[in-house]
Structure 1
Amino acid sequence: MRKLAIAALLALAAGTPAAGPAAAQQTELYVLTPGVVFNAGLEDLAKEYTKETGIKVTVKADGMGRIVNDIKTGTPIADVVALPVAFMDGMEAEGSIVPDTRARLGRVYVGLAVPKGKPHPDISTPEKLADALKGGTVLYSNPATGSMEARIINDMLHRYPVFQGVKSKISLKGEGGEALVRGEGDMALQLICEVLNHPEIELVGIVPEELGAYIDTTLAVSSRSTHQEAAKAFVDYLMKPEHVALWENKGLQRMK
Structure 2
Amino acid sequence: MTALRSFRLRRRMGSALALLAAPLLFGCQTLSITPAPKVTSSAELHVFTSGGFNIAFDALAKQYTAETGTRIVTGHGPSMGDTPQAIPARLARHEDADVVILARSALDRLAAEGKVTPGTQVDLGLSKIAVAIKAGAPIPDISTPQALRATLIAAKSVAWSDSASGVYIQTTMLDKLGVADQVRPKGRMIPATPVGEIVASGQAEIGFQQLSELKPVKGIRIIGLLPDSLQKVTAFSGGIVAYSSRQQPARALLDYLSSSKADAVIRESGLEPASRKAKP
Match of 1:217, SS state, is: strand
For residues 53-96 of structure 1, give each alpha carbon's deviation from its aligned partner in whole angstroms, at most 9, with x where no partner exists. Answer: 221111111233542244355132x2111122222222333443
1:83 maps to 2:102: yes
Task: Give 1:68's aligned residue.
Answer: 88
Aligned Cα root-mean-square deviation (Å): 2.8
User: Taking structure 1 as reference, are residues 142 and 244 closer, same or farther at Cα in structure 2, changes over 3 Å only?
Assistant: closer
Supply the AA of the counterpart residue of 2:48.
Answer: L
Indicate how the Cα distance of structure 1 residues 248 and 142 shifts in structure 2: closer, same or farther if over 3 A, else same: closer
Tell me what 2:72 maps to.
57
> Partner residue of 2:175?
159
Q: Distance in 2 between matches of 1:107 and 1:181?
A: 25
Structure 1 residues 179 and 48, CA, compared in 2 at 3 Å: closer, same or farther? same
Per the TM alignment, residue 172 of structure 1 is displaced from its structure 2 partner at its CA by 6.6
- Segments of 5+ residues of structure 2 without an aligned counterpart are 1-39, 81-85
TM-score under structure 1 length normalisation = 0.76
AA of the residue aligned to 2:256: Y
Residue 260 of structure 2 aligns with which residue? 241
Deviating 4+ runs (over 6 angstroms): none
Of the two structures, which has the highest relative contact order with CA contacts closer than 8 Å and spacing of 6 or more?
A: 1
**Which letter does structure 1 place at the counterpart of 2:175?**
R
Q: Which amino acid aligns with 2:210?
A: L
Q: How far is 1:117 from its partner?
A: 4.4
| Of 128, 133, 147, the match for 1:109 | 128
| Secondary structure of 2:213's aligned partner | helix
**Quick one: structure 1 residues 88 and 207, their matched pair in 2 at CA, closer, same or farther if it must change by over 3 Å?**
same
Q: Could you give the per-residue CA deviations for residues 20-78 of structure 1, whole angstroms, max 9, x where no partner exists?
A: xxxx9532101122222224x111211221222221111111233542244355132x2
Worse-matched range after superposition: 206-215 or 48-57 = 206-215
Change (3 A) 1:239 1:151: same
Equivalent position SS for 1:218: strand
Aligned-partner Cα distance in 2 for 1:213–1:140: 17
Match of 2:143 in 1: 124
Q: Residue by residue, what CA displacement relative to the aligned partner does 1:115-150 show, whole Å, maximum 9, x if unpaired?
A: 33455444233212223334433431465xxx4433
1:170 correspondence with 2:188: yes
In structure 2, the residue matched to 1:30 is 46
Query: Higher Cα Rg: structure 1 or 2?
Result: 2
Shift of 1:109: 1.9
2:252 match: secondary structure: helix
Q: Structure 1 residues 224, 192: closer, same or farther in 2, change over 3 A?
A: same
Residues 43/128 of structure 1: CA separation in 2 closer, same or farther (3 Å cut): same
Contact map agreement 1:79 1:221 (CA 8 A) in 2: yes
Contact 1:127-1:162 at 8 Å conserved across structures: no
Partner of 2:61: 46
Residue 187 of structure 1 is matched in structure 2 by: 206
CA distance in 1, matches of 2:264, 2:75: 23
More displaced, 184-193 or 196-205? 184-193
TM-score w.r.t. the length of structure 2 is 0.70
What amino acid does structure 1 have at the position aligned with 2:74? V
Q: Secondary structure at the match of 1:26?
A: coil
Q: Which amino acid aligns with 2:221?
A: E
Distance 2:93 2:135 in 1: 44
Q: Distance in 2 between matches of 1:67 and 1:171?
A: 18
User: CA shift at 1:206, angstroms?
Assistant: 1.2
Aligned length: 228
1:35–1:63 Cα contact (<8 Å) kept: yes
